[in-house]
Amino acid sequence: MRVTYNDTKRSQFLADLGNPAIPLTRLMRNPVPHGFKGVELLETMFCPQQTAGRLGAPAAANRPPPEPIPIDRALWFIRVLGANEISAHRGRAQPAVSNQAPSPVAATPSSTATTAPAAAPLNSNDWYTAEFTHAFTLWLRAQLVQLVLPTKPKAGAPAPAKTPTGVLGDEKSRARWLAKWQYSNALLNQLTRKRLLSTRILISWLSDFLSSANFAQLGFVTQLMHEHLVDLTEFVGIGRICVRAACTKIEEIRASPAKDTLQQVEQQLANIVRVLYDSDHEVLLSPTTWSRHSALLATLVDSTTPEFADLGRRNEALIFRPIMIDSGTSPRRQQMAEIQKLDSIAAETDMTALCKTFFSGPCAPTSPRIDPEKLEEKVFILVNWAMGLYQLGIHRPYAVYTMLKKWLEWFEEVRPNEHFDFFPILYKWLDTSAAARSPNNILAIGISFGELTRQGLFSYGRYLNTLIARGHSARFNTGTVSHHLELLRAMPIFVEARDLLEQRRLVLSGDGEARERDQADEDAALETFREELKEYVPEIFGMRRYHRSALVRESIDYQIPSAAGISRFEFVQTRFWFSAAAVHSFKRWVVALFDD
């Protein structure tokens, strides 16, 4: 029977429960109060009167912390509450009993009428054990997160006015925290001994928390794991997580200035790894753990046995490594393999992983010496691949930028004190490759190098200066027109820079009549495009109709006629006045809306 007490009776019950002079048989005569659950129940066991005060009873301002309820009496109360919850759950989960007689057809082995078996109902005892174990781990976590290490200010940054210190910054808080932790451990041991907790959930939580614990928390978590090491050996999957986390923490301790202080913790972690390995060698069968910590594991356990060698062979077989093809013996095959990697790009592709497999070997930043020829070859393959503009989607120019950007991030991560510039390689491709000389690729080059320019991997200004320095200009035309002029004509400028526009016109047309004629042609093309845009979306320009706009609206698949004839440069230039018109129209619409 479950009853709800008022605040006075509730406080009196907790006082009687915490008084060893009052036998539990006396408390059994009346129903226990209902309402204690989860973390609140555990907090009440450690600090009964303060918890009751929070629930409604006034507490004295300077009252000393109350004594915790004795472990044996707390254990009794937890079992009684658990029995009540299990009974209530069993009543709710009890299926309705049907009075209908069973069908003889269902019992006939030869019957073709088959029904899917119903899922087994969750055992009420198992349900409450799991729920209570989760609550207990939350209680332990809430205590551990109070152990906060002071943060070290960055060099040159002003020191913060006040940093959180948790319970470590106050002697009274630290003593109170230690008392609560000892009480929690004592209660945990009794609950585990009475099989009132799920050991699988408990050690799974400990293994997960170990991987993220700071040095202040590490000793307490390691001690808990050491006490439940026998339970941990029964679950190989959880043991693998524990080994990985333990190896990570051992390496962090050895690299820390506080390694002498944490020497005992390191020994406990190493002992956990040894015990788990001795209980079941399969605990080391983890490609992730092996690839990160195989050298450390060889020093923690006996690495001279055939079992350890077999684990190494099996882990190496499970580690995915792309097949490396020697480009010197089969360059064509190597290029086809690289193109297949690029063709596999999709929305869910991990571009960081693809970058590391594409730029592998001597062109990787992790190589002792980056081979410039190999890196140039990979970049050429990448840009050539982008020339297939509309094959398998329209993403290729943007994928090229992403791959090069990922390589630069990888380079800066590995070599933070060095700088790398892709401009010489990209310019060499524009200057020497057959794809750059093909008139069919001008649009693809405009889009691809426009994206590289917009994102800062290619410099439009440097390209202009390089063309002028090398004589690729209409002013120095000796009869053969450089293909760079057509490329420059297509490459967009993403800023309104008059000096760049003047310099571009000078390179493309030189001085005199040709310059004015070419400028007039571009202006005419832009004006035609502007007029067709007004017909397509007259609302942007503040008009309801414009010329043939009514006919355009009735067209299901209308395409602006001049859009296919303008260059990428001209297309991007329209962005400046078109976006300005759109913003102006939107502001006018908002003002009219509020005026109404």
User: Do 74 and 186 have their domain in common?
Assistant: yes
Encode pLDDT of 44-59 as tens digits. Answer: 888 876 555 444 444 4
Q: Are 246 and 210 in contact (CB under 8 A)?
A: yes
Q: Kindly tell me if the per-residue pLDDT of 97 is higher than 50.
A: no
User: Do 307 and 384 have their domain in common?
Assistant: no
- DSSP characters over 231-249: HHTT-HHHHHHHHHHHHHH
More confident residue, 54 or 242: 242
User: Do 17 and 142 have their domain in common?
Assistant: yes
Name the domain count of the chain. 4
User: Do 189 and 58 have their domain in common?
Assistant: yes
User: Do 134 and 4 have their domain in common?
Assistant: yes
Lowest mean pLDDT among 40-44, 107-111, 222-226: 107-111
Q: Kindly tell me if the per-residue pLDDT of 143 is higher than 90.
A: yes
Residue 494 lies in a domain: no
Residue range 231-236: average pLDDT?
Answer: 92
Neighbours of 322 (CB within 10 A): 12
* Cα separation, 400 vs 386, whole angstroms: 7
Report helix, strand and coil shares of the chain as percent, to nearest 5.
65, 0, 35
User: Do 313 and 335 have their domain in common?
Assistant: no
Nearest C-alpha neighbor of 577 from the set 508, 506, 523, 502: 523
CB under 8 Å to 505, separation ≥6 — which residues?
515, 518, 519
User: Do 239 and 316 have their domain in common?
Assistant: yes
Pick the most confident of 148-152, 355-359, 545-549, 566-570: 355-359
* Cα separation, 222 vs 250, whole angstroms: 11
Domain end (from 265, 288, 321): 321
**Degrees, nearest 5: CA angle 220-222-228:** 110
More confident residue, 343 or 78: 78
Q: Are 229 and 246 in contact (CB under 8 A)?
A: no
Residue 144 lies in a domain: yes
Residue 157 lies in a domain: no
Neighbours of 492 (CB within 10 A): 20
User: Do 359 and 281 have their domain in common?
Assistant: no
Domain boundaries, position 339:
331-458
User: Do 181 and 254 have their domain in common?
Assistant: no
User: Do 300 and 352 have their domain in common?
Assistant: no
User: Do 33 and 179 have their domain in common?
Assistant: yes
User: Do 280 and 389 have their domain in common?
Assistant: no
